[in-house]
Structure 1
Amino acid sequence: MKVTDPVEDLHAALARPGPGTSDFDLNPEAVLPEGRKLRPAGVLVPILMHKDGPRLILTKRSSALKHHPGQIAFPGGKQDEGDADVTATALREAEEEIGLPRDLPRVIGHLPSHETVTAFDVTPVVALLDHPFEVVPERSEVEEVFTVPLSHVTSPANFIVESRRWRGQRRKYFVVPFGPYYIWGATARILRGLAARMTP
């Protein structure tokens, strides 16, 4: 069996062309409003280089938040006027949400943008962390910070499709469970796109 370098696989995956993703990918019957305006946002896909293999850092959002309480998410948010670009947005938000120093992540590329049901145009910024850091969660936003093996969330076989009723219609979405964590929605869809790129 051929052993591959996960970092080389990541670089190759990011170099492959392909379309963006959307919360509506599994729901082709969905009719999106014409002329809708998407707000730019950036999320960091931070991959910690661990002796046992790369691990992806994720957050569990505070259950007190108005939007998406308790959901699993990447650090990130909407682009502010003071941000130079969405990469700067992702790095700023990661520092604010989990205490990740802005000079620690080694940005290696971007995944195609992802459109959310909440009208954001999200750019996933992929970065490697060569060293661990002291995690300091912003408690008003982040309930927990945890890691999952990168191999788990880049294996298409670990993803399943579930559905629930949303705004009067049944909507399908990807889920990639890991232990007690139910990773779904935009986070899982972005990861499913990465998994597809890493296993062409």
Structure 2
Amino acid sequence: MEIRKKNLDERVKQLQSFGSEEFAHINGTLTQHLVGTYKILEGWNREEALCLAGLFHAVYGSDSTRAELLGTDQRVEIAEMIGQRAEALVYLFCSCDKPYVLPQIGSESRVNFRDRFSGAVMQFPSELLNDFCELTIANDLDVARNKEQEYYHEDILDMFRRMYPMVSAEVRLELDGLFDKFCT
């Protein structure tokens, strides 16, 4: 656990050196949101690569309306910091054309992925789909929990329902409590 905390502290300092403290986020800074996402994943006992992907999930900008900390031309450097698998998840999350991809998850047997940076369309990498779903849920949970009043729009709850079969028992347990609290 001590090694994980030291690794987290070092990675947070790296994010801050990229300017994460300079970007406002829901009730705080981007750094706080990134750490919050990491902590949710860590609380679910996810592997370190997924937790680190949660910590860096916005480094290339998570959608076209958000600023990026680094350009995608620095993928090699990020991979050296957090590992290949974690960086692949970060790139997948940042490059995902979410309005195109997210509605397919859980409703289609084959999910097509569109890269918002390149426009390329391909089959979603099946070996990353579960981690992508857990990262997406952790991101949205941190956002909702940091609003003045925790709230989930019906479209977010619907997305969580579609992702439910693809996530771990720990995440399903969290979602069950969320559905009990916010769904009638």
Structure 2-normalised TM-score?
Answer: 0.33
Structure 1-normalised TM-score?
Answer: 0.31
Q: Which has the higher strand share?
A: 1
Q: Which has the higher contact order (CA 8 A, sep 6+)?
A: 1
Q: Which has the higher helix share?
A: 2
